Amino acid sequence: MALQVDQKLLSELEKYGAEDVRKCFQCGNCSSICHHTDEIWQFPRKQVRMAQLGLADRISTSLEPWLCYYCGECSKECPRGAEPGETMMALRRWLTARYDFTGIARLFYRSGFAEIAAIVLVALATGLGFYAWGQAHGDINSYDGPNAFLSSHTVHIFDWCMAGVLTTFLGINSLRMWWFTTGSRFKIPLDTYLKKLAVLPRHFLTQPRFKECEQKQPWFIHLVLMLSYVTMFVLIMFFLHYVQEGPAINWAVHVFGYIASIGLLGAIVYFLRARMGKSQPHSKHSHESDWIFLSLLFLVTSTGILQHILHRSGADVAANILYCVHLAFVVPMLVLEVPFSKWSHMAYRPLAVYLAEVQREALANQAPAAAQSSSRESAV
């Protein structure tokens, strides 16, 4: 099959953060130092070369950008300052846009202004919408109970509708990722997918391959961030009534919320300090989406904590107003950032690890069959 060369690919990738690809002269130091590259999954040298040659279709079928955990060792060892680690990060952004059937991810990654504008518009619509609903159906002086300004039942239904929208977009884009990288390229039996299925939740929750990198601290921070986020998500989706009731504290539920809040704030502070200090290779370069992601997560976490404090202090009017502000930040984070921006990586990376294991198993099963076929032909 003839290769399709996209001569404009390098210029396009620069908009996603790959600004130093042209400096690479293919010495191979980056791949030799990488703890994750092996005989099947070879990177980042191979992907940098494909970018230089404009092989967009080849990159679209590649899992390797997601198997890179950006420890930064490759960039430290690069004699040309070509920043292969940042190139792999840029390829992940580009692939996110490639998987997205709506074009929203492409718009966001290419324009920070467009992403911020979309967040502001959705936030304003959400905050004003909830405030108007509360005025029409509740009492602003009441946070909980039958006259609640925003009843837990109403917010609970809204949360599940939002989860449905999120799941639809991210699910379709994940299927497109599977088709590009695996479904259209390999004939893999269902039992192979089922056999490796446990890989998916394990890598989603713990991302253990971070521990293979020389820099160990980011693994622990990512673990804290993920577990805190998942804990808070479960509380809101399944235990919102107990979270919202009060002002007495239900320790059986709230203790998990407090631990998750501390974890989220700690991780946010760590990543903000790392990006501002630029002390580590993986935080030396920042795309607009990195700052938007952290800023929005900080706003969601901080307003949630303040809202909780106000309610427990008996300041229900202020708590209700801040509840609207909190939801105004939550909605764009979930319906815009998770499917179309940096949050989507938490789905694509474990999916890539899973698909890589599926492909590895399929190739291992094919090897004996190919050898047996070759043996029969020799005998004939």
Query: Of 153, 207, 239, 211, whose CA–CA distance to 348 is shortest?
Result: 207
In a domain, 378, yes or no: no
Query: Domain check: are 108 and 95 in the same one?
Result: no
Length of the chain equals 380
User: Do 124 and 300 form a contact (C-beta atoms < 8 A)?
Assistant: no
Query: Of 296, 240, 312, whose CA–CA distance to 264 is shortest?
Result: 296
What pLDDT score does 217 carry?
63
In a domain, 3, yes or no: no
pLDDT in tens, 71-110: 888 988 899 999 999 999 999 999 999 999 999 999 999 9
As a whole number, the mean pLDDT across the chain is 90
Q: Work out the pLDDT band at 246, boundaries 50, 70, 90.
A: confident
In a domain, 1, yes or no: no
Select from 99, 115, 148 the last residue of a domain: 99
Query: Domain check: are 277 and 232 in the same one?
Result: yes
pLDDT in tens, 254-287: 999 999 999 999 999 999 998 999 877 778 888 9
How many Å apart are CA 47 and CA 26, to the nearest integer? 11
3-class secondary-structure state, position 248:
coil
In a domain, 16, yes or no: yes
Select from 99, 132, 156 the last residue of a domain: 99
Q: Work out the pLDDT band at 212, boundaries 50, 70, 90.
A: confident
Query: Of 237, 253, 260, whose CA–CA distance to 155 is shortest?
Result: 237
Query: Domain check: are 263 and 305 in the same one?
Result: yes
Please name the amino acid found at residue 36: H
Q: Work out the pLDDT band at 6, boundaries 50, 70, 90.
A: confident
How many Å apart are CA 14 and CA 18, to the nearest integer? 5
End-to-end CA distance of the chain: 31
What pLDDT score does 3 carry?
66
Share of the chain above pLDDT 90, in %: 74
Query: Domain check: are 130 and 82 in the same one?
Result: no
pLDDT over 50 (residue 379): no
What is the pTM assigned to this prediction?
0.90
| Mean pLDDT of the 41-50 span | 93
CATH number, position 61: 1.10.1060.10
Query: Domain check: are 153 and 301 in the same one?
Result: yes
Query: Domain check: are 83 and 145 in the same one?
Result: no
What does the block give as tokens for 171? 């699910």
Query: Domain check: are 272 and 352 in the same one?
Result: yes
Peptide bond into 350 cis (omega under 30): no
Looking at the 3D structure of the chain, how many domains does it have? 2
pLDDT over 90 (residue 325): yes
Higher pLDDT, 210 or 258: 258
Query: Domain check: are 276 and 254 in the same one?
Result: yes
Q: In the 8-state DSSP scheme, what is residue 139?
A: B
Query: Domain check: are 81 and 119 in the same one?
Result: no
Query: Domain check: are 124 and 229 in the same one?
Result: yes
What pLDDT score does 263 carry?
95
Select from 73, 99, 125 the last residue of a domain: 99
Query: Domain check: are 88 and 108 in the same one?
Result: no
In a domain, 354, yes or no: yes
In a domain, 216, yes or no: yes
How many Å apart are CA 218 and CA 70, to the nearest integer? 10
In a domain, 109, yes or no: yes
Query: Of 250, 247, 268, whose CA–CA distance to 333 is shortest?
Result: 268
**Host domain of residue 143:** 104-362
Query: Domain check: are 35 and 116 in the same one?
Result: no
What contacts 320, CB < 8 A, 6 or more positions away?
A: 134, 140, 143, 149, 150
In a domain, 373, yes or no: no
**DSSP bridge partners of 139:** 148
